[in-house]
A and B are shown apart, each in its own frame.
Chain A
Amino acid sequence: MAEITTKEENGENTVVRLEHVSYRYPRTKNYVLHDVCIDIHQGEFIAVMGENGAGKTTFLSCLNSIIPNYYLGHMQGNVKVYGMDTKEHVVSEFSRKVGMVLEDPESQLFTTYVRNEVAFSAENMQVEPDEIRSRIDWALSIVGLTSYKDRETTALSGGQKQRLAIAANLAMKPDMLVLDEPTSQLDPIGTREVFDVIRRLRNEEKMTVVIATHKSEEIAEFADKVLVFSKGHVVAFDEPRKIFQDEELMKLCHIRPPQVSALVNYMNMKNAEIHRLPILLKEAGGEIEEWYSGGRKDG
């Protein structure tokens, strides 16, 4: 598996470097991460995929030192995030660089009002109140919750809660945002809302984003690279198009390709001969049209 991992030795804009990281949780025998070597660069959008239990959450937990600081267990290798070794610094030190959004919207909100929730992290970092107020306005405008500033957090929908969790992390002005299946408990509308926010972070704020998700359509649209885990091993780390083209990999890791890719794959199976596999709906329109008009000419 080792040759699949990317190792660009430029170091310049590398923000995360995992060197031969293996990890097992306390009181367990089996490693959930095996010899993971990954570099993540500034401004990259990385999607982490793999079936449940493949090691996605464990990997993400390494990125802001929740592993090894929060969960004990046994870790081999080194994780360097913005030059800091996760073994030598505590979680709150990484929070200045890395924001983290968890899967469950409920357990990451702990104040009564939206504005206090956003202010919480900045207050912890001893930011001046006036600066915090402007950060609240900025963060809430990015996630589209400006008009909810004085609402109670309990009154928000699931999608709004996740957007608030993102805003609450943005108030720290982190350089990187890590999201652990932020939409798995949301309905399609909530999912769309959250991904719209992520798109803005990527396009307007140029933020480094690492997200674990099963939503192939969104990954196809946003991600620079897809990191695929299977049973704790990194089995692929490449552009989404290459990943979704690899049918065997999809099957092996129980990953659902985008629906348009699945459709074209099916058509190819029926001898349609579409050579460029589309991963986005807009691409598929062109490819299928071309094939259809070509097919008609032959016929």
Chain B
Amino acid sequence: MNYVDKDSFMHRLDPRVKVIVLVFFTVIVFLITRPVLIVIMFLSFLSVWTIVERLPSAGLIKTAKFVAGLMGFIILLQAIFYTGNTYILGPVPKDVWLIGGMGIKWEGIAFGLLLAVRLMALIVLMPMVLMTTPIHLFSLGLIRMGLPYKIAYMTTTSMNLVPTFESELGVIMDAQKMRGMTIFEEKGKRFRKMKAWVVLVVPLVIGAMRRAQMMGMAMDARAFGAFKTRTCIDSIRMRWSDWLTLILCLAYGAALVVLNWILR
């Protein structure tokens, strides 16, 4: 999910507003317990993505697919271990060893589904901020909010590395394919595929460590950390539209919390 270079409402927004709203909504998503409100939140984020910002959705779909497996696992776990007594499957008779009393419960599935929607909402929200904020303005926003610049840079530089590692993984994968590795083209064989990841991850991690060291060296060599503060050629300024957006977003979140309390 790399920065998308264009001009849009969110691109023009002060990075500080985006960071505050992101943190705020992340908390709200987990505060709210009513399913309908969580779904509304998810849909509102999604509509900002597609209708207001018109950001490319290919990355989103790819991420969603990637996360789908994790979500399935979460739902299954909740279905088994969440407290409730509306059994869809089971329960297994009490005297069976280890799995006695277990079963698939509707309450668990519902809870798991909600957790999944919460996750999806965040998966839409976070890249939306990253895709509309150039890294240097993101770190500038963090610095202006009082974060020491070394920490701000550590955060943003690591975000910057994600696409680099993606392309590096592609290179390693191609190299393995050229040496006759076909496992990723074959259907099924999930376990063998998981094992095959080892040969991709090991060179990736070693490469990442080497790169991180080189990068640290290059940054030091360019006077990073020489002084307690640093100047900046870019400037950010809160305009009235930034304030308005911030207030509206906070109001929206507050309204959701109030509704959640009314509907309890």
Contact = CB atoms under 8 A, between A and B. Distances in A.
A116 B233 contact: yes
A46 B226 CA distance: 28
A96 B235 CA distance: 25
A143 B225 CA distance: 26
Given A66-B221, A95-B226, A125-B223, A113 B136 contact: yes
B220 interface: yes
Contacts of A128: 231
B221 A95 contact: yes
Contact of A108 (B218, B233, B234, B235): B218
A74 to B, nearest CB: 19
Interface residues of B, number: 30
Contact of A129 (B134, B225, B227, B232): B232
A112 B135 contact: yes
Interface centre among B216, B224, B226 (most CB of A within 10 A): B226
A113 B222 contact: no
Given A123-B233, A129-B233, A133-B233, A108 B226 contact: no
A124 B223 contact: yes
A120 B218 CA distance: 11
A116 B222 CA distance: 13
B226 A93 contact: yes
Interface in A97-148: 98-100, 102, 104, 106-108, 110-113, 115-116, 119-129, 132-133, 136
Contacts of B231: 122-123, 126-129, 132
Contacts of B211: 106-107
A123 B218 contact: no
B215 A116 contact: no
A172 B42 CA distance: 47
B87 interface: no
B215 A123 contact: no
A91 interface: yes
B217 A66 contact: yes
Interface residues of A, number: 42
Given A108-B214, A116-B233, A124 B227 contact: yes
Nearest to B153: A110
A126 B227 contact: yes
A120 B222 contact: yes
A283 interface: no
Contact of B232 (A96, A100, A107, A123): A123
Interface string B212-249: 00111111111111110111111100000000000000
A70 B222 contact: no
Interface in A203-256: none
Contact of B222 (A106, A121, A132): A121
Contact of B220 (A92, A106, A115, A120): A92
A237 B158 CA distance: 42
A120 B5 CA distance: 20
Interface string B98-113: 0000000000000000
Contacts of A102: 214, 217-218
A95 B136 contact: no
Nearest to A100: B221
Contacts of A160: none
A112 B136 contact: yes
Q: 7 shortest A-B CB distances, which residue pairs?
A: A92-B226, A121-B222, A108-B218, A124-B223, A107-B214, A91-B220, A95-B223
Given A91-B220, A169-B222, 19 more contacts: A64-B221, A66-B220, A92-B220, A99-B222, A102-B218, A104-B214, A107-B218, A110-B157, A112-B135, A116-B136, A123-B233, A124-B222, A124-B224, A125-B226, A126-B229, A127-B231, A132-B233, A168-B222, A172-B223
Interface of A: 64, 66, 70, 90-96, 98-100, 102, 104, 106-108, 110-113, 115-116, 119-129, 132-133, 136, 152, 168-169, 172
14 contacts: A94-B221, A98-B221, A102-B214, A107-B214, A110-B219, A111-B135, A112-B134, A116-B136, A121-B223, A123-B231, A126-B229, A126-B230, A127-B231, A132-B231
